Amino acid sequence: MNSNHKKDSSTNRGRPRSEAVHRNILDATLILLTEVGIEKLSIEMIAQYAGVGKTSIYRRWTNKEALVVDALEQIKPELNTSYQDTLQETLYELAESFFGQMDNPLGRQMLSVLVSTLSGSSQISEAFWEKHSLPKTKEISSIIDYFRQEEGLSDRVDIDLASDLLIGYVTYLLLFKTPSRDLDTSLKSGIELIINGLKK
């Protein structure tokens, strides 16, 4: 399920790895990430806070980045894809829910980590991004597709493009425009414009 871990023990001889230790490390990582930020975060700090030896961390993850990415997995936002009466409403619910889940220190840290690691072009985060972003694009695309005829949308336009526009806009708001005053209005207007652009 998760490929950031170091490879599992080849044999299952000897004492098995403690699941409690695993959880303690991940929990400590998230808490400290929120409290001190990724810059000041250190493995020694995590080990101490989790009441764990450094060895137990390095046995499971190769470095800080891998651990952080793994820890952030736990808080990845769920897309709320409940279909409403109109495309507008449906996308708004989805965007608003997504925004709500990310609009906090941890969520922003997550995006930030993503961007930093991506710009370092590590394979880990590419995989991470593909796993999380692509499905979102597809889900949104299928929502739009579902309302296509009902709302009289053009066949010509690339539906994935609209998804990217929406995702890009929401991401942009999160990264650069928070705290935002008229968030709801911004989201609604943006979605409206995109939908209108899809029409005819």
Partner DNA sequence: CGTTAACCGAGACGGTACGTCGCGTCTTACT
Partner DNA sequence: AGTAAGACGCGACGTACCGTCTCGGTTAACG
Q: Footprint of DNA on this chain (CB under 7 A)?
A: 9-18, 21-22, 40, 42-45, 51-56, 58-60, 63-64
163 binds its own copies (CB under 8 A): no
Asked if residues 80 and 97 have their Cβ atoms less than 8 Å apart, the reply is: yes
CB of 135 to DNA, least distance (A): 30
Helix ranges, the chain (H) = 19-40, 43-50, 54-58, 64-73, 87-102, 105-119, 123-147, 159-176, 183-198
Q: How far is the CB of 107 from DNA (least distance, A)?
A: 23
Range 19-44 burial, b when 16+ CB lie within 10 A, else e: eebbebbbebbbebbeeeebeebebe
Candidate segments 21-29, 74-82, 86-94, 182-190, binder of its own copies by CB under 8 A: 182-190
SS3 199: strand
Quick one: which segment of 72-80, 92-100, 112-120, 142-150 binds its own copies (CB under 8 A)?
A: 112-120
Where does this chain bind its own copies (CB under 8 A)? 37, 39, 108-109, 111-112, 114-116, 118-120, 129, 133, 157-158, 161-162, 164-165, 167-173, 175-177, 186, 189-190, 193-200
